[in-house]
Structure 1
Amino acid sequence: MGSVPIPKANKNRCLLSKWLTCRMSHPAPPIIACPMPAETFAHTLLGRLKLRHLRIMLALSEMPTAAAVAARFHVSPAAVSKTLAEIEDIVGMPLFERNRRGLHLTEPGREMAAHAAVLLAQLERLAESLQAVRAGSQGALRIAFRTMSVQPFLARAMSDFYRDNPRVEISVIEGGIGELADQLVDGSLDLLFAYDDPRLSLPALRTAPVVPAQKVVIVASLYHPLLTRRKLAARELSGQQWCIPVAGSRMLHLLHTAFHTLGAPAPSLGIRTSDVAATASLLQAGHFLAVFPERIAAQLTLAKVARVLRFELGSRVEPVVAVWNDELTPRTPARLFRELVMRRAGETLMAEPVPLLAARAVAAAGIRKR
């Protein structure tokens, strides 16, 4: 009996089934797209990326939705979405993940946003410099300091710098350490002088020591009874009337740590303040003790506000550092002032006989030079 011929349609289906089974058992290697050469990619990026792309990218990284960004720039959400699509087409990678709660940066998106922030800050500095030239000035210098240990030194440096550069607009900015660190990152602050602090350990920031680590000492009112004593015990000091640093401050932590190490309770009687001017006034008004880095204590001693107590706390404060944004091209006045400060840090600062009491503390305490 001969074989029954298979109809052509059924035969084709049979062959297709066998081919699919074979391919599933032995899959072909994946096709890997050849990455664009780095030089070509750089040319593409520089040739197609525009300032509006950077602005939209940075805004999207800071705001949750395209609608919020659209409101900021007074355009439609569709225009923002179109710009984002252009950016992603240029870089060839998704920069955001979309979900119901809005947009979230991908890893390439985080890189893009970080560099967009730097580039826009650089362009702002360029605009400032050009405007300063047009206006006939020498630009602006914005500095801040978070400790009086460095204030007399900085006052001399600023005075000398202003004498040589009278057309530079110098501003001293106030704020908390976290706020000032943010201003360094966004470029609105040029230089910060502060005790070395973990909150300054940001990728963009660079530090350099200006004042070395200092001993922490106890100062007493000019006529405090303990000044006549040759030997003092930590427990006796604990029960005295103090100007106690405020909660969360560096000096309170150092004071508590020192007394704990000495096996005595930390001081708890007195008035809580970390303000040097207020402390100077209290030291003049009554029998108080206070704790300060030795340079500030020297200022109070010279101004005849207080005297250093003969007692070793065995504690030190961190060095005072100059901090700046190393990712941004510095404004010319900032670069020149920083160079002056760093040059003098190793010369004048250590050669100072005794620092001067800061004017703010002198005025608050009602001191007159004798």
Structure 2
Amino acid sequence: MDNQQICNFAKYIYKWIYLSRMKPLNNNWFVRARLKSRHIPVLVALGETCNLNRAAEGLGISQPAISKLVKELEDGLEVPLFERHARGVVPTLYGEAVIRYARRVQTSLDSAFDEVIALRAGHRGHVRIGTILTPCADLLPELIRQVKQLHPNLELSIHTGSSRDLMTTLNDGELDFLVARFFADVGLSGMHFEPLHKEPLCVCARAGLIDQRLSREALHQADWVLPPSGSVLRYEFDALFQQKGMLPPSKVVNAENLLMVTTLLEHNNMLTVLPREVVAHYARYNMLAVVDVEAGIEEDLNRSLMAYGIITKHEDLLSPSAKSVLTQLRKIAQSL
């Protein structure tokens, strides 16, 4: 043999070994035995009744049809599944094993059907909600409480962030709907906005830090922890001074994370601006308190504040579970 023949022979041997190790597509016993879905309820019925006629009546088919289905399985498995007697049939050792697994299959199929029905009705699934800060203090906790009572198997994910970022995430299909402010200049089309409430802002600090009314000048000299420039809250804060011909305060720590903000307030003589509902939540635990400011300051702080609301995109394409949660959210928002 020349080198080329040796090479071809080696390739043939390698291919034969490789193919001999591959698992045939029909290696599963139920493929070889030609198991069909109608065999499952027959096995379960015979396991319960041990009688061909009663099993046939319960399944709504003829006794010869059941006998044929049993013979198909026995021929495919090459073992007897039942012993025939004058009063009925008795499962063999093989029959008991197959019946036991047939019951499991039927239970799994029943569970699958129940889950599909639950998904269609919105009782199960995964709903992803994007929200700004204020709804986290009141609206969203009440929504979650009611949804978990109505649909305990429903999974909810809450994503917080700025309205602009949340709108982009919604547009990418990573969220189902938002509770946020709507910005037309983001450049995203196909979104629908339902205004709900404004979130009045207030100046606050840790409880017990400030015991006197502060003027605008005193606020200008104070140390602050604020969200970064570009956010709605920071814009309103800066405008509080700019509309009076003043530069915004310069002693500012930029922090967006609420945990960082509250921790900085706890350990430093700093002020911040937060939605009043958020401050009320922390005030219940004696962590934050609203700072008393001169007349007109809070009005100026909230003069051009935008309302937040529900933002959806292609609501008709939402899953049943997302539609169900959205309906519940609208009901709660109307009652608050």
| TM-score, normalised by the number of residues in structure 2 | 0.57
CA deviation after TM superposition for structure 1 residue 289, in Å: 0.8
Match of 2:116 in 1: 133
Alpha carbons of structure 1 residues 190 and 297: separation in structure 2 relative to 1, 3 Å: same
CA contact (8 A) 1:244 1:267 kept: no
Match of 1:339 in 2: 327
Match of 1:274 in 2: 256
CA contact (8 A) 2:138 2:277 kept: no
CA contact (8 A) 2:134 2:275 kept: no
Counterpart mapping for 1:63-102 below 5 A: none
Match of 1:7 in 2: none
Alpha carbons of structure 1 residues 153 and 209: separation in structure 2 relative to 1, 3 Å: same
State which of 292, 314, 323 in structure 2 corresponds to 1:310: 292
State which of 181, 186, 189 in structure 2 corresponds to 1:203: 189
Inter-partner Cα distance in structure 1 for 2:115 and 2:192:
26
Q: Tell me, yes or no, if structure 1 residue 253 matches structure 2 residue 235.
A: yes
CA contact (8 A) 1:147 1:193 kept: no
CA deviation after TM superposition for structure 1 residue 304, in Å: 1.3
- Greater mean deviation of Cα atoms: 315-324 or 193-202: 193-202
- Greater mean deviation of Cα atoms: 199-208 or 172-181: 172-181
State which of 270, 276, 280 in structure 2 corresponds to 1:298: 280
Q: Structure 2: which amino acid aligns with 1:228?
A: D
CA contact (8 A) 1:209 1:321 kept: yes
CA deviation after TM superposition for structure 1 residue 345, in Å: 0.8
CA contact (8 A) 1:222 1:306 kept: yes
Q: Structure 2: which amino acid aligns with 1:289?
A: L
Counterpart mapping for 1:345-360 below 5 A: 345-347=333-335, 349=336
Q: Tell me, yes or no, if structure 1 residue 218 matches structure 2 residue 200.
A: no
CA deviation after TM superposition for structure 1 residue 196, in Å: 2.9
CA deviation after TM superposition for structure 1 residue 200, in Å: 6.2
Alpha carbons of structure 1 residues 297 and 198: separation in structure 2 relative to 1, 3 Å: farther
CA contact (8 A) 1:195 1:318 kept: yes
Structure 2: runs of 5 or more not aligned? 1-111
Match of 1:168 in 2: 154
Counterpart mapping for 1:356-367 below 5 A: none
CA deviation after TM superposition for structure 1 residue 152, in Å: 3.1
Query: What does the per-residue CA deviation read over 1:200-243, in whole Å, with 9 as the maximum and x for residues that have no partner?
Result: 67432112123x1233211122232xx3324x321221111111
CA contact (8 A) 1:283 1:305 kept: no
Alpha carbons of structure 1 residues 235 and 170: separation in structure 2 relative to 1, 3 Å: same
Inter-partner Cα distance in structure 1 for 2:164 and 2:115:
29
CA deviation after TM superposition for structure 1 residue 182, in Å: 4.0
Identity level (%): 20
CA contact (8 A) 1:207 1:322 kept: yes
Instruction: Please tell me whether Structure 1 or Structure 2 has the larger radius of gyration of its CA atoms.
Output: 2
CA contact (8 A) 1:256 1:266 kept: yes
Match of 1:147 in 2: 133
Match of 1:264 in 2: 246
Match of 2:212 in 1: 229
